[in-house]
Chain A
Amino acid sequence: SQQGEEDPQALSIQEGENATMNCSYKTSINNLQWYRQNSGRGLVHLILIRSNEREKHSGRLRVTLDTSKKSSSLLITASRAADTASYFCATDNTGNQFYFGTGTSLTVIP
């Protein structure tokens, strides 16, 4: 079963705006990762944040992690039409599974 839940389920913004999506999870984790999935393709790794980190940046991406609330957020700044995709969080807990959330479908309107 899936552990993570993203919200919103769908998000539509204008090009140039920022997009924020959230992920909540249920158990303790070693790290949390964000992935992007373009339509009809596999998932592509974006960024990993470890359980002892609170914030991480990579280009236009900013990820935060609040282990007390069991939640993470992904911020994409200055969005582009090419950012249109589904975004998933995945948690690596003490088991062997990577639990994926249900995903946020992002549409960036040119």
Chain B
Amino acid sequence: GAGVSQSPSNKVTEKGKDVELRCDPISGHTALYWYRQRLGQGLEFLIYFQGNSAPDKSGLPSDRFSAERTGESVSTLTIQRTQQEDSAVYLCASSPLHRGSPLHFGNGTRLTVT
């Protein structure tokens, strides 16, 4: 089947605008993760979903960031009042089980805040 799909692949927005990033996980994958990757750096954990429940929101950097998930399907990451420091690639990953299963990543959304 298809892999993890993220849209848009690129997004340029003006400072202060809201953006919505979408992730379609692999069908049947219970766990879904959002990560942020700044240029040339590692992955920064943002949030984790088990089904449509988010037991771990500890990585969200501020209250401008929020995420939701519909059942075991699509997830959206919303950034309100974007700042230039939000510029990064936002990666989504899914896995069938939480423990011990590899993560399947999408190609990410490259967000540029001007």
Contacts and interface: CB of A to CB of B under 8 A. Distances in A.
B42 A92 contact: no
B107 to A, nearest CB: 5
B106 interface: yes
Interface string B1-36: 000100000000000000000000000000001010
Contacts, number: 63
Contact of A96 (B42, B56, B100, B107): B56
A48 B102 contact: yes
Bin chain A's interface residue count. 20 to 34
Contacts of B59: 97
Nearest to A40: B107
A32 to B, nearest CB: 11
A50 B100 CA distance: 8
B99 A30 contact: yes
A57 interface: no
Interface of A: 1-2, 4, 30-31, 33, 35, 40-45, 48, 50, 88, 90, 92, 95-103
28 contacts: A1-B44, A2-B44, A4-B42, A30-B99, A40-B107, A41-B107, A42-B4, A42-B108, A43-B93, A43-B103, A43-B105, A44-B105, A88-B42, A88-B43, A92-B99, A95-B56, A96-B48, A96-B55, A96-B98, A97-B56, A97-B59, A98-B33, A98-B45, A98-B103, A100-B42, A100-B45, A101-B42, A103-B42
